[in-house]
Structure 1
Amino acid sequence: MPAAAPAPRPVLSPEVADALAGGRPVVALESTLLAHGLPRPDNRAAADDVEAAVRAGGAVPATIAVLDGTPHVGLTAAQVDRVCADPDLAKLGVRDLPVAAALGMSGATTVSSTALLAEAAGVSVFATGGLGGVHRQSVETFDESADLTALSRTSLVVVCAGVKSILDVPATLERLESLSVTVVGYGTTTFPGFYVADSGSTVDWSVADPQQAAAVFAARRGLAPGAVVVANPLPADQQLDRELHDRVIADALAAADAAGVRGKDVTPFVLDHLHRASDGATLEVNVRLVLRNAELAGRIAAALAALAA
Protein backbone atom coordinates (compact mmCIF):
# COMPACT_ATOMS: atom_id res chain seq x y z
CA MET A 1 0.00 0.00 0.00
CA PRO A 2 1.57 3.33 -1.02
CA ALA A 3 2.37 5.85 1.67
CA ALA A 4 -0.16 8.64 2.08
CA ALA A 5 0.83 11.97 0.56
CA PRO A 6 1.76 14.57 3.17
CA ALA A 7 -0.61 17.48 3.69
CA PRO A 8 0.51 20.50 1.65
CA ARG A 9 2.22 23.15 3.74
CA PRO A 10 1.11 26.74 3.23
CA VAL A 11 3.15 28.66 0.67
CA LEU A 12 4.17 32.02 2.08
CA SER A 13 4.49 35.06 -0.14
CA PRO A 14 8.02 36.53 -0.09
CA GLU A 15 6.82 39.56 1.90
CA VAL A 16 5.07 37.44 4.53
CA ALA A 17 7.98 35.00 4.79
CA ASP A 18 10.44 37.86 5.22
CA ALA A 19 8.30 39.53 7.88
CA LEU A 20 7.85 36.34 9.89
CA ALA A 21 11.55 35.50 9.67
CA GLY A 22 12.38 38.97 10.98
CA GLY A 23 9.85 38.90 13.80
CA ARG A 24 7.77 41.66 12.22
CA PRO A 25 3.98 41.81 12.63
CA VAL A 26 1.71 40.00 10.17
CA VAL A 27 -2.10 39.90 10.01
CA ALA A 28 -4.03 37.09 8.34
CA LEU A 29 -7.08 37.95 6.21
CA GLU A 30 -9.75 35.55 4.99
CA SER A 31 -10.68 35.32 1.31
CA THR A 32 -14.31 34.23 1.64
CA LEU A 33 -15.18 37.87 2.28
CA LEU A 34 -13.79 38.69 -1.16
CA ALA A 35 -15.17 35.70 -3.05
CA HIS A 36 -18.57 35.30 -1.39
CA GLY A 37 -19.20 38.21 0.98
CA LEU A 38 -18.89 41.25 -1.29
CA PRO A 39 -20.35 41.76 -4.77
CA ARG A 40 -18.19 42.05 -7.85
CA PRO A 41 -16.46 44.33 -8.80
CA ASP A 42 -16.56 46.06 -5.39
CA ASN A 43 -14.73 43.11 -3.86
CA ARG A 44 -11.51 43.82 -5.74
CA ALA A 45 -11.20 47.40 -4.54
CA ALA A 46 -12.09 46.26 -1.02
CA ALA A 47 -9.28 43.70 -1.10
CA ASP A 48 -6.72 46.45 -1.65
CA ASP A 49 -8.34 48.69 0.95
CA VAL A 50 -8.31 45.98 3.63
CA GLU A 51 -4.64 45.19 3.02
CA ALA A 52 -3.87 48.93 3.15
CA ALA A 53 -5.67 49.18 6.50
CA VAL A 54 -3.47 46.41 7.93
CA ARG A 55 -0.40 48.31 6.74
CA ALA A 56 -1.75 51.50 8.31
CA GLY A 57 -1.87 49.61 11.60
CA GLY A 58 1.80 48.71 11.26
CA ALA A 59 1.68 45.12 9.97
CA VAL A 60 2.06 43.08 6.78
CA PRO A 61 -1.22 41.72 5.34
CA ALA A 62 -1.48 38.01 4.52
CA THR A 63 -4.63 37.22 2.59
CA ILE A 64 -5.16 33.45 2.61
CA ALA A 65 -6.67 31.22 -0.10
CA VAL A 66 -6.23 27.75 -1.60
CA LEU A 67 -5.14 27.79 -5.24
CA ASP A 68 -4.93 24.55 -7.24
CA GLY A 69 -4.80 22.54 -4.03
CA THR A 70 -2.07 24.60 -2.35
CA PRO A 71 -2.76 26.93 0.59
CA HIS A 72 -1.27 30.38 0.09
CA VAL A 73 -0.59 32.78 2.97
CA GLY A 74 -0.15 36.14 1.30
CA LEU A 75 -1.37 36.62 -2.28
CA THR A 76 0.06 38.41 -5.28
CA ALA A 77 -2.09 40.99 -7.07
CA ALA A 78 -2.80 38.44 -9.80
CA GLN A 79 -3.88 35.86 -7.22
CA VAL A 80 -6.19 38.39 -5.57
CA ASP A 81 -7.63 39.12 -9.04
CA ARG A 82 -8.34 35.42 -9.43
CA VAL A 83 -10.06 35.09 -6.07
CA CYS A 84 -12.21 38.14 -6.69
CA ALA A 85 -13.16 37.32 -10.29
CA ASP A 86 -13.99 33.58 -10.21
CA PRO A 87 -17.74 33.12 -9.55
CA ASP A 88 -17.27 29.37 -9.08
CA LEU A 89 -14.58 29.54 -6.42
CA ALA A 90 -15.39 27.05 -3.66
CA LYS A 91 -16.00 28.07 -0.05
CA LEU A 92 -13.55 26.07 2.06
CA GLY A 93 -13.90 25.43 5.76
CA VAL A 94 -11.52 23.18 7.69
CA ARG A 95 -13.42 20.03 6.66
CA ASP A 96 -13.05 20.97 2.99
CA LEU A 97 -9.28 21.60 2.99
CA PRO A 98 -8.22 17.95 2.54
CA VAL A 99 -10.58 17.53 -0.41
CA ALA A 100 -9.24 20.68 -2.08
CA ALA A 101 -5.66 19.57 -1.44
CA ALA A 102 -6.13 16.04 -2.73
CA LEU A 103 -8.08 17.05 -5.84
CA GLY A 104 -6.12 20.18 -6.69
CA MET A 105 -9.11 22.47 -6.19
CA SER A 106 -9.17 26.20 -5.53
CA GLY A 107 -11.24 27.96 -2.93
CA ALA A 108 -11.66 30.88 -0.58
CA THR A 109 -11.02 30.28 3.09
CA THR A 110 -13.59 30.87 5.83
CA VAL A 111 -12.82 32.01 9.37
CA SER A 112 -12.19 28.42 10.50
CA SER A 113 -9.81 27.46 7.69
CA THR A 114 -8.08 30.85 7.70
CA ALA A 115 -7.38 30.45 11.42
CA LEU A 116 -5.98 26.95 10.90
CA LEU A 117 -3.71 27.96 8.01
CA ALA A 118 -2.61 31.18 9.70
CA GLU A 119 -1.51 29.30 12.80
CA ALA A 120 0.28 26.70 10.66
CA ALA A 121 2.20 29.52 8.96
CA GLY A 122 3.15 31.17 12.27
CA VAL A 123 0.75 34.13 11.98
CA SER A 124 -0.81 35.06 15.34
CA VAL A 125 -3.32 37.81 14.45
CA PHE A 126 -6.33 37.54 12.15
CA ALA A 127 -8.81 40.23 11.08
CA THR A 128 -12.28 39.45 9.78
CA GLY A 129 -15.71 41.04 9.60
CA GLY A 130 -17.94 38.87 11.77
CA LEU A 131 -17.66 35.35 13.10
CA GLY A 132 -19.96 32.49 12.28
CA GLY A 133 -21.85 30.99 15.16
CA VAL A 134 -25.06 29.31 16.30
CA HIS A 135 -27.86 29.84 13.80
CA ARG A 136 -31.37 30.75 14.80
CA GLN A 137 -33.60 27.67 15.11
CA SER A 138 -30.50 25.57 15.74
CA VAL A 139 -32.52 23.41 18.13
CA GLU A 140 -34.24 21.98 15.04
CA THR A 141 -31.44 22.29 12.49
CA PHE A 142 -28.26 21.74 14.59
CA ASP A 143 -26.75 24.45 12.38
CA GLU A 144 -23.62 25.79 14.03
CA SER A 145 -20.57 27.27 12.36
CA ALA A 146 -17.28 25.39 12.42
CA ASP A 147 -15.70 28.75 13.32
CA LEU A 148 -16.47 28.13 16.98
CA THR A 149 -14.68 24.81 17.39
CA ALA A 150 -11.81 26.02 15.20
CA LEU A 151 -11.26 28.99 17.51
CA SER A 152 -11.11 26.65 20.49
CA ARG A 153 -8.20 24.78 18.87
CA THR A 154 -6.12 27.54 17.28
CA SER A 155 -3.98 30.05 19.15
CA LEU A 156 -4.38 33.48 17.64
CA VAL A 157 -6.04 36.86 18.12
CA VAL A 158 -9.20 37.31 16.05
CA VAL A 159 -10.42 40.87 15.60
CA CYS A 160 -14.06 41.02 14.53
CA ALA A 161 -17.25 43.07 14.82
CA GLY A 162 -18.99 40.34 16.79
CA VAL A 163 -20.94 37.65 14.99
CA LYS A 164 -23.10 38.04 11.93
CA SER A 165 -26.47 39.63 12.65
CA ILE A 166 -28.40 36.70 11.19
CA LEU A 167 -27.23 34.44 14.03
CA ASP A 168 -28.39 33.68 17.57
CA VAL A 169 -25.94 35.93 19.41
CA PRO A 170 -26.62 34.83 23.02
CA ALA A 171 -26.36 31.16 22.04
CA THR A 172 -23.11 31.84 20.17
CA LEU A 173 -21.59 33.53 23.21
CA GLU A 174 -22.64 30.57 25.36
CA ARG A 175 -20.91 28.18 22.96
CA LEU A 176 -17.74 30.28 22.96
CA GLU A 177 -17.75 30.13 26.75
CA SER A 178 -18.29 26.35 26.73
CA LEU A 179 -15.35 26.01 24.32
CA SER A 180 -13.18 28.23 26.58
CA VAL A 181 -12.58 30.81 23.87
CA THR A 182 -11.53 34.11 25.46
CA VAL A 183 -13.76 37.01 24.36
CA VAL A 184 -12.99 40.65 25.16
CA GLY A 185 -14.63 43.84 23.99
CA TYR A 186 -12.43 46.58 22.59
CA GLY A 187 -13.08 49.57 24.82
CA THR A 188 -16.46 48.18 25.87
CA THR A 189 -18.24 45.25 27.50
CA THR A 190 -21.05 45.55 24.95
CA PHE A 191 -20.84 42.78 22.39
CA PRO A 192 -21.23 44.25 18.90
CA GLY A 193 -23.87 43.07 16.46
CA PHE A 194 -21.88 43.32 13.23
CA TYR A 195 -23.87 46.01 11.37
CA VAL A 196 -24.86 47.62 14.67
CA ALA A 197 -22.77 48.58 17.68
CA ASP A 198 -24.87 46.72 20.27
CA SER A 199 -26.14 43.18 19.82
CA GLY A 200 -28.03 43.28 23.10
CA SER A 201 -25.48 40.98 24.74
CA THR A 202 -22.47 41.77 26.91
CA VAL A 203 -19.06 40.23 27.62
CA ASP A 204 -17.27 40.00 30.95
CA TRP A 205 -14.00 41.61 29.92
CA SER A 206 -12.67 44.49 27.88
CA VAL A 207 -9.29 45.82 26.78
CA ALA A 208 -8.48 49.49 26.38
CA ASP A 209 -5.76 49.41 23.72
CA PRO A 210 -3.76 47.13 21.39
CA GLN A 211 -1.10 46.59 24.05
CA GLN A 212 -3.64 45.12 26.47
CA ALA A 213 -5.09 42.89 23.74
CA ALA A 214 -1.59 41.62 22.91
CA ALA A 215 -0.86 40.99 26.59
CA VAL A 216 -4.08 38.99 27.00
CA PHE A 217 -3.16 36.82 24.03
CA ALA A 218 0.41 36.32 25.26
CA ALA A 219 -0.99 35.13 28.60
CA ARG A 220 -3.55 32.89 26.91
CA ARG A 221 -0.91 31.32 24.66
CA GLY A 222 1.16 30.49 27.71
CA LEU A 223 -1.74 28.71 29.37
CA ALA A 224 -3.66 26.69 26.79
CA PRO A 225 -4.52 26.48 23.09
CA GLY A 226 -7.39 28.66 21.94
CA ALA A 227 -8.16 32.03 20.44
CA VAL A 228 -8.67 35.45 21.93
CA VAL A 229 -11.60 37.15 20.21
CA VAL A 230 -11.39 40.95 20.26
CA ALA A 231 -14.87 42.31 19.56
CA ASN A 232 -14.53 45.74 17.97
CA PRO A 233 -17.85 47.61 17.64
CA LEU A 234 -18.56 50.26 15.08
CA PRO A 235 -19.08 53.77 16.48
CA ALA A 236 -22.80 54.45 16.81
CA ASP A 237 -22.67 57.13 14.12
CA GLN A 238 -21.24 54.61 11.62
CA GLN A 239 -23.62 51.72 12.22
CA LEU A 240 -26.57 50.71 10.08
CA ASP A 241 -29.83 52.41 10.99
CA ARG A 242 -31.32 50.18 13.69
CA GLU A 243 -34.85 50.11 12.30
CA LEU A 244 -33.58 49.33 8.81
CA HIS A 245 -31.28 46.66 10.27
CA ASP A 246 -34.05 44.81 12.12
CA ARG A 247 -36.42 44.96 9.15
CA VAL A 248 -34.04 43.75 6.45
CA ILE A 249 -32.63 40.97 8.67
CA ALA A 250 -36.13 39.63 9.33
CA ASP A 251 -37.02 39.85 5.64
CA ALA A 252 -33.78 38.17 4.57
CA LEU A 253 -34.18 35.25 6.97
CA ALA A 254 -37.79 34.78 5.86
CA ALA A 255 -36.70 34.79 2.22
CA ALA A 256 -34.01 32.17 2.91
CA ASP A 257 -36.54 29.96 4.68
CA ALA A 258 -39.07 30.33 1.87
CA ALA A 259 -36.40 29.44 -0.69
CA GLY A 260 -35.33 26.37 1.27
CA VAL A 261 -31.78 27.62 1.69
CA ARG A 262 -29.86 25.64 4.30
CA GLY A 263 -26.39 25.18 5.80
CA LYS A 264 -23.43 27.11 4.45
CA ASP A 265 -25.57 28.60 1.66
CA VAL A 266 -27.58 30.67 4.14
CA THR A 267 -24.96 33.35 4.77
CA PRO A 268 -24.21 34.32 1.14
CA PHE A 269 -27.94 34.20 0.30
CA VAL A 270 -28.86 36.44 3.21
CA LEU A 271 -25.98 38.87 2.61
CA ASP A 272 -27.02 39.28 -1.01
CA HIS A 273 -30.64 39.87 0.05
CA LEU A 274 -29.52 42.44 2.64
CA HIS A 275 -27.45 44.31 0.07
CA ARG A 276 -30.36 44.57 -2.34
CA ALA A 277 -33.05 45.30 0.27
CA SER A 278 -31.00 48.05 1.91
CA ASP A 279 -30.00 49.69 -1.40
CA GLY A 280 -26.36 48.93 -0.68
CA ALA A 281 -26.30 50.32 2.87
CA THR A 282 -25.27 46.99 4.41
CA LEU A 283 -22.38 46.71 1.96
CA GLU A 284 -21.07 50.12 2.96
CA VAL A 285 -21.23 49.22 6.66
CA ASN A 286 -19.68 45.80 6.03
CA VAL A 287 -16.66 47.32 4.28
CA ARG A 288 -16.34 50.01 6.93
CA LEU A 289 -16.23 47.55 9.82
CA VAL A 290 -13.77 45.25 8.04
CA LEU A 291 -11.40 48.18 7.47
CA ARG A 292 -11.61 49.18 11.14
CA ASN A 293 -10.92 45.59 12.22
CA ALA A 294 -7.97 45.28 9.83
CA GLU A 295 -6.36 48.46 11.11
CA LEU A 296 -6.86 47.43 14.75
CA ALA A 297 -5.47 43.96 14.01
CA GLY A 298 -2.36 45.59 12.54
CA ARG A 299 -1.89 47.58 15.72
CA ILE A 300 -2.36 44.49 17.91
CA ALA A 301 0.10 42.52 15.78
CA ALA A 302 2.62 45.34 16.17
CA ALA A 303 2.10 45.35 19.94
CA LEU A 304 2.53 41.56 20.04
CA ALA A 305 5.77 41.80 18.07
CA ALA A 306 7.02 44.44 20.50
CA LEU A 307 6.30 42.10 23.42
CA ALA A 308 8.41 39.40 21.80
CA ALA A 309 11.31 41.72 20.93
Structure 2
Amino acid sequence: MTQGFSWQEEQDAETVGRQIIWLDALARHPAVRELRSWALDVSAVKPGERAVDVGCGTGEQVREFACAGAEAFGVEPSGRLRAEASRRTNDSLAEFVDGTAEALPFGKGSVDVIRCERVFQHLDRPADAAAEFARVLRRDGRVVVIDMDWGTTVLHPGDPLVAREVEKAQDGELPSPGAGRRLTGLLAGAGLEVTGIVARSLIIWEPATGGWGLVGHLAAQAQRQGRITDEEHKRLMTDLAAGAERGDFHFSVTMFAASARAGGPDRAPVSSPEDHRDHESIVHERQPR
Protein backbone atom coordinates (compact mmCIF):
# COMPACT_ATOMS: atom_id res chain seq x y z
CA MET A 1 0.00 0.00 0.00
CA THR A 2 1.36 3.38 -0.94
CA GLN A 3 0.22 5.98 1.54
CA GLY A 4 0.69 9.73 1.91
CA PHE A 5 3.75 10.99 3.78
CA SER A 6 5.26 7.80 2.29
CA TRP A 7 3.00 5.72 4.55
CA GLN A 8 3.94 2.60 2.60
CA GLU A 9 7.09 2.04 4.63
CA GLU A 10 7.66 2.09 8.34
CA GLN A 11 8.45 5.65 9.44
CA ASP A 12 10.51 7.02 12.29
CA ALA A 13 8.81 8.09 15.50
CA GLU A 14 8.90 11.80 14.62
CA THR A 15 7.20 11.29 11.25
CA VAL A 16 4.54 9.03 12.76
CA GLY A 17 4.00 11.65 15.47
CA ARG A 18 3.18 14.21 12.76
CA GLN A 19 0.87 11.72 11.08
CA ILE A 20 -1.00 11.18 14.34
CA ILE A 21 -1.43 14.94 14.84
CA TRP A 22 -2.83 15.22 11.30
CA LEU A 23 -5.14 12.23 11.74
CA ASP A 24 -6.50 13.59 15.02
CA ALA A 25 -7.05 17.06 13.56
CA LEU A 26 -8.87 15.71 10.52
CA ALA A 27 -11.02 13.43 12.68
CA ARG A 28 -12.45 16.51 14.41
CA HIS A 29 -13.55 18.19 11.17
CA PRO A 30 -17.38 18.29 10.77
CA ALA A 31 -17.23 16.89 7.21
CA VAL A 32 -15.23 13.87 8.33
CA ARG A 33 -17.47 13.26 11.34
CA GLU A 34 -20.59 13.42 9.14
CA LEU A 35 -19.19 10.98 6.60
CA ARG A 36 -18.09 8.61 9.34
CA SER A 37 -21.53 8.75 10.93
CA TRP A 38 -23.15 7.94 7.58
CA ALA A 39 -20.69 5.11 7.03
CA LEU A 40 -21.45 3.60 10.43
CA ASP A 41 -25.20 3.83 9.79
CA VAL A 42 -25.10 2.12 6.38
CA SER A 43 -22.66 -0.52 7.63
CA ALA A 44 -25.30 -1.57 10.16
CA VAL A 45 -22.80 -3.52 12.23
CA LYS A 46 -24.42 -6.21 14.39
CA PRO A 47 -23.12 -7.89 17.54
CA GLY A 48 -20.99 -10.90 16.72
CA GLU A 49 -20.20 -9.85 13.15
CA ARG A 50 -16.63 -9.46 11.96
CA ALA A 51 -15.98 -5.82 11.04
CA VAL A 52 -12.70 -4.57 9.58
CA ASP A 53 -11.32 -1.05 9.18
CA VAL A 54 -8.68 -1.07 6.43
CA GLY A 55 -5.95 1.52 6.97
CA CYS A 56 -7.25 2.11 10.49
CA GLY A 57 -4.63 4.65 11.65
CA THR A 58 -5.23 5.35 15.33
CA GLY A 59 -8.18 2.96 15.48
CA GLU A 60 -11.12 5.25 16.19
CA GLN A 61 -13.51 3.40 13.90
CA VAL A 62 -12.34 0.00 15.14
CA ARG A 63 -13.40 1.08 18.60
CA GLU A 64 -16.79 2.07 17.18
CA PHE A 65 -17.19 -1.44 15.75
CA ALA A 66 -16.24 -2.97 19.09
CA CYS A 67 -18.75 -0.76 20.90
CA ALA A 68 -21.41 -2.19 18.57
CA GLY A 69 -20.50 -5.67 19.78
CA ALA A 70 -18.65 -6.71 16.64
CA GLU A 71 -15.45 -8.71 16.40
CA ALA A 72 -13.47 -5.64 15.35
CA PHE A 73 -10.19 -5.62 13.45
CA GLY A 74 -8.03 -2.71 12.34
CA VAL A 75 -5.68 -3.44 9.44
CA GLU A 76 -2.70 -1.08 9.38
CA PRO A 77 0.74 -1.53 7.73
CA SER A 78 2.48 0.90 10.11
CA GLY A 79 3.67 -0.83 13.25
CA ARG A 80 3.90 2.46 15.14
CA LEU A 81 0.34 3.41 14.22
CA ARG A 82 -0.87 -0.04 15.29
CA ALA A 83 0.89 0.46 18.61
CA GLU A 84 -0.81 3.85 19.07
CA ALA A 85 -4.19 2.37 18.17
CA SER A 86 -3.68 -0.41 20.72
CA ARG A 87 -2.60 2.11 23.36
CA ARG A 88 -5.85 4.05 22.87
CA THR A 89 -8.04 0.96 22.93
CA ASN A 90 -9.30 -0.90 25.97
CA ASP A 91 -11.69 -3.41 24.45
CA SER A 92 -11.19 -7.15 24.15
CA LEU A 93 -13.24 -7.16 20.93
CA ALA A 94 -10.78 -4.87 19.12
CA GLU A 95 -7.56 -6.10 17.54
CA PHE A 96 -4.99 -4.45 15.27
CA VAL A 97 -3.16 -6.49 12.65
CA ASP A 98 -0.59 -5.96 9.91
CA GLY A 99 -1.82 -5.93 6.34
CA THR A 100 -2.65 -3.86 3.27
CA ALA A 101 -5.79 -3.10 1.31
CA GLU A 102 -4.60 -5.30 -1.56
CA ALA A 103 -3.75 -8.30 0.65
CA LEU A 104 -6.00 -8.58 3.68
CA PRO A 105 -5.17 -11.18 6.34
CA PHE A 106 -8.61 -12.82 6.16
CA GLY A 107 -9.98 -15.84 4.38
CA LYS A 108 -12.43 -15.78 1.51
CA GLY A 109 -15.96 -14.89 2.59
CA SER A 110 -15.02 -14.37 6.25
CA VAL A 111 -15.84 -10.67 6.82
CA ASP A 112 -19.23 -9.03 7.33
CA VAL A 113 -18.28 -5.34 7.17
CA ILE A 114 -15.35 -3.47 5.64
CA ARG A 115 -14.64 0.20 6.10
CA CYS A 116 -11.78 2.01 4.34
CA GLU A 117 -11.05 5.73 4.63
CA ARG A 118 -8.54 7.82 2.65
CA VAL A 119 -6.57 4.81 1.42
CA PHE A 120 -7.50 4.46 -2.26
CA GLN A 121 -5.90 7.81 -3.13
CA HIS A 122 -2.55 6.34 -2.07
CA LEU A 123 -2.81 3.17 -4.16
CA ASP A 124 -1.31 2.65 -7.61
CA ARG A 125 -4.08 0.14 -8.37
CA PRO A 126 -7.13 0.80 -6.20
CA ALA A 127 -9.08 -1.74 -8.27
CA ASP A 128 -6.93 -4.43 -6.65
CA ALA A 129 -8.11 -3.29 -3.22
CA ALA A 130 -11.76 -3.31 -4.32
CA ALA A 131 -11.30 -6.87 -5.65
CA GLU A 132 -9.73 -7.90 -2.36
CA PHE A 133 -12.70 -6.47 -0.45
CA ALA A 134 -15.04 -8.51 -2.64
CA ARG A 135 -12.96 -11.64 -1.96
CA VAL A 136 -13.18 -11.50 1.82
CA LEU A 137 -16.80 -10.33 2.14
CA ARG A 138 -19.47 -12.82 3.08
CA ARG A 139 -22.74 -12.97 1.16
CA ASP A 140 -24.63 -9.76 1.92
CA GLY A 141 -21.49 -8.28 3.50
CA ARG A 142 -21.24 -4.49 3.44
CA VAL A 143 -18.42 -2.17 2.50
CA VAL A 144 -18.02 1.61 2.78
CA VAL A 145 -15.10 3.47 1.20
CA ILE A 146 -14.37 7.13 1.93
CA ASP A 147 -11.84 9.14 -0.05
CA MET A 148 -10.75 12.55 -1.25
CA ASP A 149 -10.98 13.92 -4.76
CA TRP A 150 -8.09 16.37 -4.94
CA GLY A 151 -9.30 17.60 -8.33
CA THR A 152 -11.99 19.51 -6.42
CA THR A 153 -9.49 21.58 -4.42
CA VAL A 154 -10.20 25.32 -4.13
CA LEU A 155 -7.79 27.85 -2.62
CA HIS A 156 -8.37 31.58 -2.11
CA PRO A 157 -7.05 34.34 -2.14
CA GLY A 158 -3.94 34.89 -4.24
CA ASP A 159 -3.07 34.99 -7.92
CA PRO A 160 -5.67 32.60 -9.45
CA LEU A 161 -3.12 31.03 -11.79
CA VAL A 162 -0.67 30.38 -8.98
CA ALA A 163 -3.44 29.11 -6.68
CA ARG A 164 -4.55 26.72 -9.40
CA GLU A 165 -1.10 25.21 -9.62
CA VAL A 166 -1.13 24.65 -5.86
CA GLU A 167 -4.59 23.08 -6.15
CA LYS A 168 -3.09 20.55 -8.60
CA ALA A 169 -0.09 19.75 -6.40
CA GLN A 170 -1.43 16.38 -5.26
CA ASP A 171 -1.50 15.23 -8.88
CA GLY A 172 2.27 14.92 -8.70
CA GLU A 173 2.36 13.32 -5.24
CA LEU A 174 -0.42 10.73 -5.06
CA PRO A 175 -0.94 7.69 -7.31
CA SER A 176 -4.74 8.18 -7.39
CA PRO A 177 -5.56 11.80 -6.49
CA GLY A 178 -9.03 11.54 -8.06
CA ALA A 179 -10.00 8.41 -6.11
CA GLY A 180 -13.16 10.02 -4.72
CA ARG A 181 -14.92 10.28 -8.09
CA ARG A 182 -14.00 6.66 -8.91
CA LEU A 183 -15.38 4.93 -5.82
CA THR A 184 -18.64 3.64 -7.28
CA GLY A 185 -16.92 2.44 -10.44
CA LEU A 186 -14.22 0.64 -8.48
CA LEU A 187 -16.73 -1.13 -6.25
CA ALA A 188 -19.01 -2.05 -9.16
CA GLY A 189 -16.00 -3.26 -11.14
CA ALA A 190 -15.22 -5.69 -8.31
CA GLY A 191 -18.67 -7.25 -8.64
CA LEU A 192 -20.18 -5.44 -5.67
CA GLU A 193 -23.63 -3.86 -5.71
CA VAL A 194 -23.35 -0.11 -5.06
CA THR A 195 -26.01 0.99 -2.59
CA GLY A 196 -25.24 4.68 -2.03
CA ILE A 197 -22.87 7.61 -2.35
CA VAL A 198 -22.66 10.89 -0.46
CA ALA A 199 -20.21 13.79 -0.39
CA ARG A 200 -19.07 16.50 1.98
CA SER A 201 -16.75 19.43 1.41
CA LEU A 202 -13.88 19.60 3.82
CA ILE A 203 -13.86 23.38 4.19
CA ILE A 204 -11.28 25.36 6.12
CA TRP A 205 -11.98 29.05 6.49
CA GLU A 206 -10.00 29.68 9.65
CA PRO A 207 -6.34 28.69 9.22
CA ALA A 208 -5.94 28.52 13.00
CA THR A 209 -8.06 25.33 12.98
CA GLY A 210 -5.15 23.44 11.43
CA GLY A 211 -5.69 24.15 7.75
CA TRP A 212 -2.66 26.40 7.48
CA GLY A 213 -0.32 23.45 7.77
CA LEU A 214 -2.09 21.60 4.94
CA VAL A 215 -2.12 24.66 2.68
CA GLY A 216 1.56 25.26 3.38
CA HIS A 217 2.27 21.61 2.60
CA LEU A 218 0.47 21.82 -0.77
CA ALA A 219 2.18 25.11 -1.67
CA ALA A 220 5.58 23.61 -0.85
CA GLN A 221 4.75 20.60 -3.02
CA ALA A 222 3.86 22.87 -5.95
CA GLN A 223 7.11 24.76 -5.49
CA ARG A 224 9.14 21.56 -5.30
CA GLN A 225 7.44 20.19 -8.42
CA GLY A 226 8.32 23.37 -10.34
CA ARG A 227 4.68 24.33 -10.77
CA ILE A 228 5.33 27.71 -9.15
CA THR A 229 8.50 29.74 -8.66
CA ASP A 230 10.07 30.64 -5.33
CA GLU A 231 8.81 34.19 -5.74
CA GLU A 232 5.28 33.02 -6.59
CA HIS A 233 5.31 30.78 -3.54
CA LYS A 234 6.39 33.62 -1.29
CA ARG A 235 3.79 36.01 -2.71
CA LEU A 236 1.00 33.44 -2.46
CA MET A 237 1.72 32.70 1.20
CA THR A 238 1.80 36.43 1.91
CA ASP A 239 -1.55 36.91 0.14
CA LEU A 240 -3.10 33.97 1.98
CA ALA A 241 -1.90 35.25 5.34
CA ALA A 242 -3.29 38.71 4.60
CA GLY A 243 -6.58 37.19 3.49
CA ALA A 244 -6.82 35.15 6.67
CA GLU A 245 -6.17 38.29 8.73
CA ARG A 246 -9.15 40.08 7.17
CA GLY A 247 -11.42 37.01 7.17
CA ASP A 248 -11.09 36.31 3.45
CA PHE A 249 -9.57 32.81 3.38
CA HIS A 250 -10.93 29.61 1.84
CA PHE A 251 -9.57 26.12 1.33
CA SER A 252 -11.75 23.17 0.44
CA VAL A 253 -11.62 19.68 -1.05
CA THR A 254 -14.51 17.27 -1.54
CA MET A 255 -14.65 13.89 0.17
CA PHE A 256 -16.89 11.10 -1.13
CA ALA A 257 -18.24 8.02 0.61
CA ALA A 258 -19.67 5.07 -1.32
CA SER A 259 -21.37 1.97 0.06
CA ALA A 260 -21.85 -1.44 -1.53
CA ARG A 261 -22.83 -4.99 -0.67
CA ALA A 262 -21.71 -8.43 -1.75
CA GLY A 263 -24.35 -10.29 -3.72
CA GLY A 264 -25.45 -13.89 -3.46
CA PRO A 265 -23.83 -16.97 -4.99
CA ASP A 266 -24.85 -15.95 -8.52
CA ARG A 267 -22.58 -12.90 -8.26
CA ALA A 268 -19.94 -12.77 -11.00
CA PRO A 269 -16.59 -14.08 -9.76
CA VAL A 270 -13.93 -11.47 -9.17
CA SER A 271 -10.27 -12.09 -9.85
CA SER A 272 -7.96 -11.01 -7.09
CA PRO A 273 -4.78 -9.00 -7.81
CA GLU A 274 -2.95 -12.31 -8.26
CA ASP A 275 -5.12 -14.49 -10.51
CA HIS A 276 -6.67 -17.58 -8.94
CA ARG A 277 -4.95 -17.12 -5.58
CA ASP A 278 -6.82 -17.94 -2.40
CA HIS A 279 -5.50 -16.30 0.74
CA GLU A 280 -5.27 -18.46 3.79
CA SER A 281 -6.54 -16.41 6.66
CA ILE A 282 -3.87 -15.39 9.12
CA VAL A 283 -6.50 -14.04 11.49
CA HIS A 284 -7.92 -16.97 13.40
CA GLU A 285 -10.56 -17.28 16.07
CA ARG A 286 -9.50 -15.27 19.07
CA GLN A 287 -8.04 -17.05 22.01
CA PRO A 288 -9.02 -15.92 25.50
CA ARG A 289 -6.77 -13.09 26.69
Q: Check whether TM > 0.5.
A: no
Query: Under TM normalisation by the shorter chain, which class is it?
Result: 0.3 to 0.5
Which structure has the larger Rg?
Answer: 2
